[in-house]
Chains A and B, each alone.
Chain A
Amino acid sequence: MQVPILKQGGVLIATIQAALSDADLLELRTALVQQVVRYRSTGVIVDVTAMDVMDSFASRTLLEISHMIRLRGAPTVIVGIQPEVAFAMVQLGLTLEDIPLRSIWRKAWRICSRSPGTSTKRRGCLGRRHADSDYV
């Protein structure tokens, strides 16, 4: 299953919409890094609200995504970890250290908007579709 990646200004938004297999996660990692390079993105938001399970492979892949994109100078923010998923992660000792985690979109957007290179004119309501936003 392909994860849609939305380009909103200089920020890429990947919204996971269903349970992903390992191959899907690796595909998402490759696609995100490629898009960050291609569009010179200043931040990436990964929405994991629909992920029902965050096991060791998913955690490791998200860490890799974050580290790879940080090497390009852009932050990665994980949004929407479900409470029961957080419970299981803590019980099993899985951590997402060094990745900014936010519960809601607006806070994640603030982090990506603060990163250098992002135009302040593009700040606005997340629900509104901007002229320069597009699926990539």
Chain B
Amino acid sequence: MAADTQILITSDKDVVTARQQGRAVALQTGFSMSEATLIATAISELARNIVSYANQGSVTLRPVHGSKRRDRPDDRRERLGSRDCRPQPGVARRLLQFRRPRPGIARRQAPHGRV
């Protein structure tokens, strides 16, 4: 697995650098040009938020290989206390699939406002 790429974000010029690096990493990982542009756009939005609201921070890019997900949803537990209120099996999994970000870029929340 390739090493992480960390880009310090202190000004709007770093936003450009971050999205260019993100596009490069996405293309190296095997994404198509359209998906790489989508990833670069998302990184641009995140990096701009850092500049606007936190003044400085960093963006870490990490290619994640393989299709196995670590956050496996589990519907077997009774969360609402009543058996009648249990969701159908697989609902959480489908919801997570719907909201799942594009694979290939890991976004990590770190202390002090870092993304």
Q: Which residues does A use to contact B, with CB under 8 Å?
A: 19-23, 52-57, 82-85, 87-89, 91-92
Asked if A84 contacts B20 (CB within 8 A), the reply is: no
**1/0 per position for B1-43, CB-CB distance to A under 8 A?**
0000000000011011001100100000000011011101110
- Chain B contacts of A57 at CB under 8 A? 48
- Chain B contacts of A82 at CB under 8 A? 37
B75 an interface residue at 8 Å Cβ cutoff? Answer: no
Interchain CA distance A52-B23 in the complex, whole Å: 9
Asked if A56 contacts B37 (CB within 8 A), the reply is: no
> A57 to nearest B CB, angstroms?
6
**1/0 per position for B39-57, CB-CB distance to A under 8 A?**
0111011001001000000
Interchain CA distance A91-B42 in the complex, whole Å: 11
Residue of A23, A54, A84, A92 most packed against chain B (CB within 10 A): A84
Asked if B44 contacts A55 (CB within 8 A), the reply is: yes
- Chain B contacts of A22 at CB under 8 A? 12, 15, 48, 51
Selected from A21, A23, A53, A89, the residue in CB contact (under 8 A) with B40 is A53
> A39 to nearest B CB, angstroms?
29
Chain B interface residue count, Cβ-Cβ cutoff 8 angstroms: 19
Asked if B15 contacts A83 (CB within 8 A), the reply is: no
Tell me the nearest residue of chain A to B14, going by C-beta. Answer: A21
- Chain A contacts of B20 at CB under 8 A? 19, 52
The interface residues of chain B, by DSSP majority, are classed as helix
> A9 to nearest B CB, angstroms?
33
Q: Which residues does B use to contact A, with CB under 8 Å?
A: 12-13, 15-16, 19-20, 23, 33-34, 36-38, 40-42, 44-45, 48, 51
Asked if B12 contacts A52 (CB within 8 A), the reply is: no
Asked if A21 contacts B37 (CB within 8 A), the reply is: no
Asked if A92 contacts B13 (CB within 8 A), the reply is: no
Asked if B34 contacts A87 (CB within 8 A), the reply is: yes
- Chain A contacts of B45 at CB under 8 A? 55-56
Which 3 A-B residue pairings sit nearest by Cβ, starting from the closest?
Answer: A22-B12, A84-B37, A87-B34
Asked if A54 contacts B41 (CB within 8 A), the reply is: yes
